[in-house]
A = this chain, B = another copy of it.
């Protein structure tokens, strides 16, 4: 839709900035939505980004800044260059939950300086939201929520909503929450239902008693899982006393889901926290280097293992031919098992108590595929060496490696999860490295010992 447009625009914008035609620049951005402007900014250099932001209306520029939150490193660079006034304006313009996230991106010192500059009401509300962990339901929620008492009539409820909206400003909402006299959340009522109901019906008789709510401290990933499971568009948030304190909307949860997705891919692909929009080569290298060092270290251990077999390798060089194959297959099987287990742990389909059940399943799957691969490897080995005994030993050793890799791949994520470490860490370089080292050790040990004995007996 607007993909190719972004590309055209960012070239045009560069030209307009370098030739200082700011009036034309303004008119180019005039018809665009903030999210579209934000997408164009992602393609520009910092100094150009700042020129664009200066030339936008105050409200538009605040919304653009808000939309840049998906690319925190780019936003961070921009924020460092903005005047304190511009920043506090932006914060005031944003919805509270976004403003809290925005302030959360700043250094502690900058953040408190910024809070000082805000009007008292905004400061108080933000301070209230900032007390929650950014990745919890509390950190994600907006505290503006319409609570209707169960003993009100529809007409009174509508008046309440009107009053609320007049005071807090109109923000779209779809569900009103019903509370008892102690502010306990006891039901929900859709605005559509309110719209269609008789004016003097009691809310109590209209409301939906089934209500799914989340605790303020629940992790955002869990909140997203619950919203998906129950098909909720808005999730109410309650405190420890079961009192309604806010709501999380599904569009914020979609951001959470996408964020977690990128985090998973970052773990499995070894790119860490790197953002797709990252333009700094230095920062991208830094995010990726740790994963490479893991592989490097593993490679060094593998080299040491191989050096133990120096004499054997010289007398039977063709055993080495299949080392990359054994390493690759062991790694693949390990990653297959671990990624299924990690996904299952994330969705709740696999429990940490299921380790043996899961291990047994993964072992059977790996064994089945291992048998097929081992036969093929034996065939290849025979083709290259014309030595049936050695073909047989390579096949068997591959099967052992494969079963070992499945064991590692299916148990390590569960063990990590039990230790409260993110199990997704075990899907990428860690699993491949482990199965490389031990897989090659198994392969060499097995191949040489059995080959030798068959050589001796012949």
Taking CB atoms, residues of chain B closer than 8 Å to A289 are 369, 372
Once A7-B353, A195-B195, A373-B296 are accepted as A-B contacts, the answer to whether A303 and B255 lie under 8 Å apart by CB is: no
Closest to A232 in B: B251
Question: Does A184 sit within 8 A of B, measured CB to CB?
Answer: no
Question: Does A4 sit within 8 A of B, measured CB to CB?
Answer: yes
- Residues A4 and B251 in contact, CB atoms below 8 Å apart: no
Closest to A159 in B: B196
- Residues B349 and A42 in contact, CB atoms below 8 Å apart: yes
State A389–B7 Cα separation when bound (angstroms): 48
Question: Does A24 sit within 8 A of B, measured CB to CB?
Answer: no
- Closest Cβ of chain B: how far from A329's Cβ, in Å? 5
Taking CB atoms, residues of chain B closer than 8 Å to A445 are none
The 8 Å CB contact of A364, one of B281, B327, B369, is B281
Taking CB atoms, residues of chain B closer than 8 Å to A432 are 328, 331
Taking CB atoms, residues of chain B closer than 8 Å to A229 are 35, 39
- Residues A436 and B195 in contact, CB atoms below 8 Å apart: no
State A435–B273 Cα separation when bound (angstroms): 24
State A288–B364 Cα separation when bound (angstroms): 13
Bitwise, A240-262 to B at CB < 8 A (1) or not (0) is 00000000011101110110011
20 contacts between A and B (CB under 8 A): A7-B354, A33-B210, A174-B174, A191-B191, A227-B254, A228-B255, A228-B258, A233-B251, A274-B340, A276-B347, A288-B365, A291-B332, A292-B329, A293-B376, A300-B380, A324-B324, A324-B327, A324-B436, A328-B432, A331-B432
Q: Which positions in A face B, CB cutoff 8 Å? A: 1-4, 6-7, 33, 35, 39, 42, 158, 161-162, 165, 170, 172-174, 190-196, 210, 222, 226-233, 249-251, 253-255, 257-258, 261-262, 264-265, 268-271, 274, 276-277, 279, 281-282, 284-285, 288-289, 291-293, 295-296, 298-300, 302-304, 306-307, 310, 313-314, 317-318, 320-329, 331-333, 335-336, 338-340, 343-344, 347-351, 353-354, 361, 364-365, 368-369, 372-373, 376-377, 380, 384, 427, 429, 432-433, 436, 440
In the complex, given contacts A42-B349, A268-B339, what are 4 additional A-B residue pairs having Cβ atoms less than 8 angstroms apart?
A: A265-B268, A281-B364, A302-B325, A307-B384
